[in-house]
A and B are shown apart, each in its own frame.
Chain A
């Protein structure tokens, strides 16, 4: 069967899954940005315990398979008395995981800001937080819009792993349709179309942001 007619026939199920995935991935990415900026600030801060904590955090989350983080979070935490729904669990896990990568990306952006900028800021009497928040990080983020866009796309696709802890997304819809119709190729091609359209638009948005905020050096 033609994947397009297949998609139209099962539109409701696909769109239901897509909306949930879209919400989870975007919520997680917003929180991950916060986590990333905080972690990057810790890593460049003069306070040693904060540096150590940030380095440890990044090491743990970058070196543990996402599938295992999901499993431990969803099935392990209830043993300690914390129970979250699949949706909330997915948002939290993805925020923490993508946050680790964003932390490294933002840190590389901070390193690219000329040290004269921070020195000048200090010279006019700004404290560490002001130097970082008003001078360094805004410039750092501008230089790493491209890598952040890559992480947005990776985050979107990684969020699908939430299906292993019971999150219903469009690939789950595809799995369900593959079983009920006996046409897995059409079913998964249908789910792929949502990703292609969504992520091509996202790539466009990041490209235009990059062009708008870029500055000549």
Chain B
């Protein structure tokens, strides 16, 4: 008798879970749709008005009226986002300050930012559930993610590399060298690096942890032969722990973008314009030199080219567009730096 009652209870619980799961998905889709239509309406009004673009656009003004902008950053990513007693430090945090300064223009961006810790798995839900306004957290722009959120940028492009013990005892130069069962490679679970690596070296033995420092620790113990992730992060580990070296060429493109809610077109156009401004003004170089620059030379800033949106900059923008130059992104980047756009100061105002 009691057993039967329990069995029924069990079934009811399973059903409730399934219903809750399905319901959750549905609500999200609706929410996403709402934001999308609002933002689209805002954009079209802006176009009619003619002058309301960039920082004056409705979506950006709405952020300004909030007074503080909620930004998701990593708290444990050396060089990009590290939570210290003095606040969040790193390149992502610097980019966040520069973006927010563009909106408020009062010289005190930190008072308008509320940082929240973002880990890789909660970045999309944060944006979908309106818990943050932006995610700047070593967030690689890709097509799957673009279906649920929108991206501005990239503000930085890195590539995946391999890190091995100093002296490179196994002579590893490329992922193919690790494509045997004899050598093991370490990465962080649920990272794009792991996904890329497994595609390039499907037979490789992989071991995954939750942080890269554990990979470094396991490498020190001789348990793994190589660690793979974005070059900038590997250089951070070499700098912090030592006893390793980064080998071989970059074997992927990781454009880091600013994640924003799906359909927030005004904000996306504004942020792209703002990234372009800080690249032209040298603030980008300064932010890089102060953070990632400690372990790596300052590269050319990336060309802003979100492959997933048709319009990159607000109308009337002076920023060079990759699609207009028609070249590859590297060509476009060199063009941009060799002849700075004439109207930089206008665009900045």
Name A residues whose Cβ lies closer than 8 Å to a Cβ of B: 1-4, 75, 78-79, 83, 86, 163-166, 168, 172, 175-176, 178-186, 188-189, 192-193, 196-197, 200, 203-204, 207-208, 211
**B308-328 contacts to A (CB < 8 Å):** none
From A168, A179, A186, give the contact of B191 (CB < 8 A). Answer: A179
Q: Report, nearest first, the 10 A-B pairs whose CB atoms are least far apart.
A: A175-B190, A182-B145, A78-B221, A189-B21, A179-B190, A3-B21, A182-B144, A166-B207, A200-B10, A178-B121
Q: Does B192 belong to the interface (CB within 8 Å)?
A: yes
Known: A178-B121, A182-B144. A166 touches B18 (CB 8 A): no
Name the CB-closest residue of B to A172. Answer: B189
A185 and B148 within 8 A (CB): no
Which B residues are in CB contact (< 8 Å) with A172? 189-190, 208
B residues within 8 A CB of A180? 144, 192, 195
Whether the Cβ atoms of A75 and B25 lie closer than 8 Å is: no
| In-complex Cβ contact of B13 among A183, A200, A207, A211 (8 A) | A200
CA distance A108 to B149 in the complex (A): 54
- Interchain CA distance A4-B15 in the complex, whole Å: 12
Q: How many chain B residues have a CB neighbour from A under 8 Å?
A: 39
Determine if B209 and A2 form an interchain contact, defined as CB atoms under 8 angstroms apart.
Answer: no
Q: Are B17 and A207 touching (Cβ within 8 A)? A: no
Q: Which residues of the partner chain A approach B142 to less than 8 Å between Cβ atoms?
A: 182
Over the window 135-170 of chain B, the binary record of Cβ atoms lying under 8 Å from chain A Cβ atoms (1 yes, 0 no) is 000000010110111000000000000000000000
Residues of A near B13 (CB, < 8 A) are: 196, 200
The one of B3, B18, B208 that contacts A168, using a Cβ cutoff of 8 Å: B208
10 contacts between A and B (CB under 8 A): A86-B207, A163-B189, A164-B214, A172-B208, A175-B120, A176-B195, A182-B144, A182-B149, A185-B25, A200-B14
CB < 8 Å: which of B18, B210, B218 contacts A164? B210
- Is B190 a contact of A204 with CB atoms below 8 Å? no
C-alpha spacing A1/B149, complex, angstroms: 14
Please tell me if B342 contacts chain A, counting CB pairs below 8 Å: no
Contacts of B217 in A (CB 8 A): 75
B35-73 with Cβ < 8 A to chain A:
none
A-side contacts of B195, CB under 8 Å: 176, 179-180
Closest to A7 in B: B21
Is A185 a contact of B24 with CB atoms below 8 Å?
yes
In the complex, besides A166-B218, A181-B144, A182-B148, 7 extra interface pairs with C-beta distance below 8 angstroms are A3-B21, A3-B25, A179-B192, A185-B125, A200-B10, A203-B10, A204-B6
Interface residues of B in 212-265 (CB under 8 A from A): 214, 217-218, 221, 223
The answer to whether A165 and B124 touch (CB under 8 A), given A78-B223, A182-B144, is: no
